[in-house]
Chain A
Amino acid sequence: AQTVTQSQPEMSVQEAETVTLSCTYDTSESDYYLFWYKQPPSRQMILVIRQEAYKQQNATENRFSVNFQKAAKSFSLKISDSQLGDAAMYFCAYIRNQGGKLIFGQGTELSVKP
């Protein structure tokens, strides 16, 4: 069975600094998708970034980028120039190419200090 692990329950970053959130996963599939979702205090789930496993190039969305290491089954999220509005719970998620359900990690609560 596929699993997603986020080993950092909480992280803190100074405003304007860079922070990296870790995520590892376990799967026997070779083709799948990985996501990072943000859940601010409003509890709405917001897609931050997605990565297709067959693409070697790391995805980037403005200040958000990922470091996808397929062999190591690692998918970390880097937030550059952190802003107060980045404070939220961040969830890493996996879905296999054949479809099915999104599998979420435990989440990392990010706080941003002014």
Chain B
Amino acid sequence: GAVVSQHPSRVICKSGTSVKIECRSLDFQATTMFWYRQFPKQSLMLMATSNEGSKATYEQGVEKDKFLINHASLTLSTLTVTSAHPEDSSFYICSARDPVRGKKPPDQPQHFGDGTRLSIL
């Protein structure tokens, strides 16, 4: 079964509204989660790394005020697209790193959510 739950799977809203996407780790506590954006037939572009209890680390070119990330608990990270516009329409995917004991971070499994298709009218 899914170990990372992402909700909602699809959202359609009007321009100017804010949209919140949730990413939950179900079977483990994730101190580190990641948020990606993906355009059709293209690769995953990392937007930010979400760290539990601290500020997210954003990739160059990603607007922090536009894409608010909160990682208030060990099992939940949220991405809020503020004042969304049609150009923000995309597929957003989260992932969570499972801190398996005995494994170094790069070797720890990274589980992906099923993604959220965001459409801004």
Contacts and interface: CB of A to CB of B under 8 A. Distances in A.
Interface of A: 32-33, 42-45, 47, 52, 89, 91, 95-102, 104-107, 109
Q: Considering the complex of A and B, which 4 residue pairs feature the smallest CB-CB distances, nearest first?
A: A45-B112, A99-B105, A95-B106, A104-B43
A52 B107 contact: yes
A43 B118 CA distance: 14
B44 A104 contact: yes
Nearest to A9: B41
A47 B91 CA distance: 19
Contacts of A91: 43-44
Interface of B: 34, 38, 41-44, 46, 49, 91, 93, 95, 104-107, 109-110, 112, 114-115
A105 B42 CA distance: 9
21 contacts: A33-B106, A33-B107, A43-B91, A43-B114, A44-B114, A44-B115, A45-B44, A45-B95, A91-B43, A91-B44, A95-B106, A97-B106, A98-B106, A99-B105, A99-B106, A101-B46, A102-B110, A104-B44, A106-B42, A107-B41, A107-B43
B62 to A, nearest CB: 13
Contacts, number: 45
Contacts of B112: 44-45
B110 A109 contact: no
Nearest to B38: A43
Nearest to B57: A101
Nearest to B41: A109
B5 to A, nearest CB: 12
Given A95-B106, A99-B105, A104-B44, 9 more contacts: A33-B106, A33-B107, A52-B107, A89-B41, A97-B106, A100-B106, A101-B49, A102-B110, A106-B42
